[in-house]
Structure 1
Amino acid sequence: MTLPITRAIVTGHTKGLGAALAEQLLARNIDVLGLSRSRNDTLAQRFPQTLQQAALNLADLQIVTRWLASDALTRFVDGADSVLLFNNAGTVQPIGPIEGHDAAAIANAVTLNVTTPLMLSSAVAAAGVSACDRRIVHISSGAARNAYAGWSIYCATKAALDHHARAVSLDANRALRICSLAPGVVDTNMQAEIRSSGKERFPLREKFEDLKRNGQLVSPEQCAIQLIDFTLSEAFGQTPVADIREVAQRG
C-alpha cells in the first residue's frame, strides 16, 4: 500500500515559529520547501534529503515574481497528494503613531505580510493536479481582530489575511482549504522586538513584558505542533478564521 505524499512550503523557516514548523514537519517525514532570505543550515544538516531551500527576499516583489515564474514550485509539489502552505514570514514594523511611519517601511510590511502570502497562495492553488489536496495557513494574529495603538500597519496587514481567507473559502474549490490562524503569543524574536519598543511608540509594551515575566509565552515548538496537528485534521478549513488556542482546546 502506497502512503499519501504530503509536501509543505514554509516561509520564514530560519528562525522562530517558522523554524519550528519546518522542523516538526520534517520530523513527520513531510518534505519541506523553506523560503527565506537565508538558509537554515541546522535543519539542512539534519534533513539533507527532505529539506529544500530557496533564498528569497520575500519583501522584494520582483524577486518573488521571478521565482514564481520559474518551475521551482511546480517541481516541488509534483507527485504530491497533499500540499501545505504556511505563510509564516512577517514583520511587526513599523511600530508607532502613523505620522512617524516611513513610506518604505510601510511598503515593506505590506509586501511581506500581505502581497507575498497572497501571491504564494494563488500559486499553490494553481500548482499540481486539481485533485491534489491543498491547505493554506496564514499565520495571523490577535492584532487582526483587535486594534492596538502603535500597530496600525501590523493590525491592517494581519486583518487583510483574515479577510482573504474568508473570501477564498467562498470559492468553489473542494480541493482547497484555507484558514487564517492566530497562533497565540509565541516566544520569538518578534516578541523581543515588541518588548524593546518605547512606550511612546507602543503603549501596551508592559502587557507583553508581563507575559514574558510570568512565563505566559508559548514556545515555538509547542505552537508548531498544535498548528500542524490542526492543519492535518479534518476540521481544518471548516472556518476560515480561527485561533489555535481555541481549536486546540476543542480537539
Structure 2
Amino acid sequence: MHAIVTGHSRGLGAAIAQCLLARGLTVLGLSRHGNPALAERFATGLSEVSLDLSDPSSLCAALHTTPLKTFLAADGPALLINNAGMLQPVARLGTQDAAAIVRAGQLNFIAPLLLANAFAATGRLERERRIVHVSSGAARSAYAGWSIYGAGKAGLDHHARAVAAEQHPWLRICSLAPGVIDTDMQAEVRASDPADFPQRARFDALKRDALLTPAAIAAERLVDYLLSDAFGRETVADLRQLA
C-alpha cells in the first residue's frame, strides 16, 4: 500500500508520514521543503517532491510528471492525506490582504480538490482509494478573524459529502478534524493579535493547561482510523469523538 501526504515536512503531516512509514507503507511527501530526518530514517520508503501547493500552475504541471504521475497510477490500494494548510490571513473582513486570501484559498481548498480528482481518476475495484481531508473545528464553528481558514475547511467538508454521494464503489472519503494539535500552527494562533482573533485567550489556556494533543498521538489515531474498516462510514468526522 502507498500513500501521498501533503505538508509532510513538519507538524501533523510529518507525524502522519512517519506513522505510515513505520507501518511499512510507501509514502510520497509533497511540500515546499523536504523532511531530511524522515528521508534518512526511511531511505527506501519515502519519496519527496518539492512543490508549492499554493501555486496552481506548479501543482497542475506536477500531476502530469514523474514521480507524482507514476505514484498516482501505481497498482494496489492507496491513500491520499490532504494535510497541508495555512492559518493566515487572520484578520477581520475588510482588512485582509488580497494576496493572502488567494494563497490560502489555493493551499487550503483548491490543492486538495486537484489532488483528490487526480487520485480518484486512477482508482478502480482492484485499486481502492481512500482520501482524508484534514479538516478543523473551524469548519463547523465560526471564529471571528478566521473567515478565510474556516471557509476553506468547510469547503473540504462539503466536498467529502458530495463525493460520498456519488457512491464510487472503490473510493472512501472523510473530512476529518484531528482536534487541537501541539504544532507550529498553534504557536501561530497564540501569536495572533486579540483584536483580530478574540478567541486567542482560549488557545493560550489550552497550551498553558497542557491540553493540546501531541502530533504523534493524533497521527497514530488518524492512521488507525484511515486503515480501519470503519473509515468512510462518516464523511465528516472529528477524530476525538471517533477515539
Answer whether contact 1:74 1:127 (CA < 8 A) is retained: no
2:94 counterpart SS class: helix
The aligned counterpart of 2:21 is 26
The aligned counterpart of 2:106 is 111
The aligned counterpart of 2:190 is 195
Structure 2: 5+ residue stretches without partners: none
Q: For residues 223 and 66 of structure 2, what CA distance do their matches in structure 1 show?
A: 26
Is structure 2 residue 228 aligned with structure 1 residue 218?
no
CA deviation after TM superposition for structure 1 residue 70, in Å: 1.8
Read off the aligned partner of 1:75 and give its amino acid letter.
Answer: T
Equivalent residues, number: 243
The aligned counterpart of 1:206 is 201
Q: TM-score, normalised by structure 2?
A: 0.98
1:98 counterpart SS class: coil
Answer whether contact 1:36 1:56 (CA < 8 A) is retained: yes
Q: For residues 128 and 75 of structure 1, what CA distance do their matches in structure 2 show?
A: 13
The aligned counterpart of 1:12 is 7
Answer whether contact 1:73 1:127 (CA < 8 A) is retained: no
Q: For residues 182 and 142 of structure 2, what CA distance do their matches in structure 1 show?
A: 21
Is structure 2 residue 113 aligned with structure 1 residue 134?
no
Q: Return the match for 2:89 from 75, 88, 94.
A: 94
Answer whether contact 2:124 2:170 (CA < 8 A) is retained: no
CA deviation after TM superposition for structure 1 residue 72, in Å: 2.6
CA deviation after TM superposition for structure 1 residue 128, in Å: 5.1
CA deviation after TM superposition for structure 1 residue 141, in Å: 0.3
Q: TM-score, normalised by structure 1?
A: 0.95
2:231 counterpart SS class: coil
Deviation string, structure 1 residues 81-133 (Cα, Å, up to 9, x no partner): 21000000000100010111011100000000000000000111012555211
Structure 1: 5+ residue stretches without partners: 1-5
Q: For residues 200 and 96 of structure 2, what CA distance do their matches in structure 1 show?
A: 18
Read off the aligned partner of 2:22 and give its amino acid letter.
Answer: A
Q: Which runs of 4+ in 1 moved over 3 A?
A: 77-80
2:181 counterpart SS class: coil
Q: Give the fraction of aligned pairs with identical amino acids, expressed as a percent.
A: 52
CA deviation after TM superposition for structure 1 residue 71, in Å: 4.3
Q: Return the match for 1:179 from 174, 187, 196.
A: 174
Q: For residues 170 and 87 of structure 1, what CA distance do their matches in structure 2 show?
A: 20
CA deviation after TM superposition for structure 1 residue 139, in Å: 0.2
